[in-house]
Structure 1
């Protein structure tokens, strides 16, 4: 599971496909989670969760 901002969502999708060889699930975070969760690549507020 990877939390990511809009800028890095494609990178997160590629990582999930490469690691698990399955189609990733992209879920938009609810507003309350966006404020407290950071992107794993740049420390901006995360807007999406990418999971296998």
Structure 2
């Protein structure tokens, strides 16, 4: 599971596809106070397999 901002959502998608070789699921975060794993901005999405 990768928390990411709008800017890094494509990178997170690529990483999940490369790692798990399956289509990833993207969910919009509503209330969670997570930060982007790549730039520390507020995370807007969670990408998982």
Query: TM-score band (shorter)?
Result: over 0.9
Match of 1:50 in 2: 47
Unaligned residue ranges in structure 2 (runs of 5+): none
Match of 1:41 in 2: 38
Bigger fraction of residues in helix: 1
Aligned residues: 49
Runs of 4+ in 1 over 2 A off after TM superposition: none
TM-score (norm 1): 0.92
Instruction: Describe how 1:1-52 pairs up with structure 2 within 5 A.
Output: 1-30=1-30, 32-33=31-32, 36-52=33-49
Unaligned residue ranges in structure 1 (runs of 5+): none
TM-score (norm 2): 0.97
Aligned-residue CA RMSD in angstroms?
A: 0.4
